[in-house]
Amino acid sequence: MDKTLSYVGLCKKAGKLVCGTDMTTEAIRAGKIKAAFTASDASANTVKRISDGCSYRNITYRTLPFTCEEIGKATGKEGGIATVGITDNGFAEMILKSLEQT
């Protein structure tokens, strides 16, 4: 498993991860998210919802180089996860740095 995916799984275990498009969108609106990520195969509508919300609230947004299925597996969820949000600055920075190195 890629290091970035391992970090996403670690965030889940630490309780600093919001999974799913609806929950991530709500957390963005509530100002709880430090960074948001979508899967490489997320739908155009999902990408627009998340990127627009992040842009409006000045939250870091990136597309992960992983599929919904891979993100779901890393977070221990059945099926795919198109969107995740990180609620902790330290974890967000760790994932962003890991993405820069790949």
CATH of the domain at 20: 3.30.1330.30
Quick count: other Cβ atoms within 10 Å of Cβ 92?
Answer: 22
**Tens digit of pLDDT for each residue in 57-94?**
999 999 999 999 999 999 988 889 999 999 999 999 99
83/39 Cα distance (integer angstroms): 6
59/52 Cα distance (integer angstroms): 10
Task: Kindly report whether the global pTM for this prediction surpasses the value 0.85.
Answer: yes
47/40 Cα distance (integer angstroms): 9
Question: Do 40 and 65 form a contact (C-beta atoms < 8 A)?
Answer: yes
Domain count, the chain: 1
**Tens digit of pLDDT for each residue in 13-57?**
999 999 999 999 999 999 999 999 999 999 999 999 999 999 999
Residue 79: predicted pLDDT: 84
Question: Do 84 and 5 form a contact (C-beta atoms < 8 A)?
Answer: no
Residue 37 is part of which domain span? 3-101
100/102 Cα distance (integer angstroms): 6
